[in-house]
Structure 1
Amino acid sequence: METIKLRDEYIKLGQALKAAGLVGSGVDAKMVIQDGLVKVNGQVEYQRGKKLVDGDIVEYENEQIKITK
């Protein structure tokens, strides 16, 4: 499980996918999120701008990202 450390109070879902290297660009992030391939805390998430905070877990293609402060 990869960890992303927050610089601010939150990171947006699309940015987190890019930061973790799971997608190559913002356009790629938008497409996989719109296609329902990304889960946040076990629930499918369709909003690229979803704010992720400390403790959130993102899942995409059997990879997980944990958001920490």
Structure 2
Amino acid sequence: MATFSLGKHAHVDLCDLLKLEGWVESGAQAKIVIDEGQVSVDGAVETRKRCKIFPGQTVSFAGQSITVVA
């Protein structure tokens, strides 16, 4: 499974993670797919666009998954 490193940050917003991973082309598109219920965090559908993702959480979208690490 792929990982995303937060580096020196404590968390990343869900919409930013989708954009940074290249799963969507823009922040606006990220917000749309999140609002439509296409994104899950730790296996549960997440519709909060600015949901804070912390180390240890797994985000899934369009058949892809990534685990966030510190």
Please give the TM-score of this superposition, normalised by the length of structure 1: 0.95
Structure 2 residue 70 is matched with structure 1 residue 41: no
User: Where do 4+ consecutive residues of structure 1 move more than 4 Å?
Assistant: none
Residue in 1 that maps onto 2:66: 65
Work out the percentage of aligned pairs sharing the same amino acid: 35
Residue in 2 that maps onto 1:9: 10
Question: Structure 1: which 5+ residue stretches go unaligned?
Answer: none
When the two structures are aligned, how many residues end up with a matched partner? 69
Q: Distance in 1 between matches of 2:2 and 2:27?
A: 19
Q: Distance in 1 between matches of 2:32 and 2:66?
A: 18
Question: Structure 2: which 5+ residue stretches go unaligned?
Answer: none
RMSD: 0.7
Please give the TM-score of this superposition, normalised by the length of structure 2: 0.94
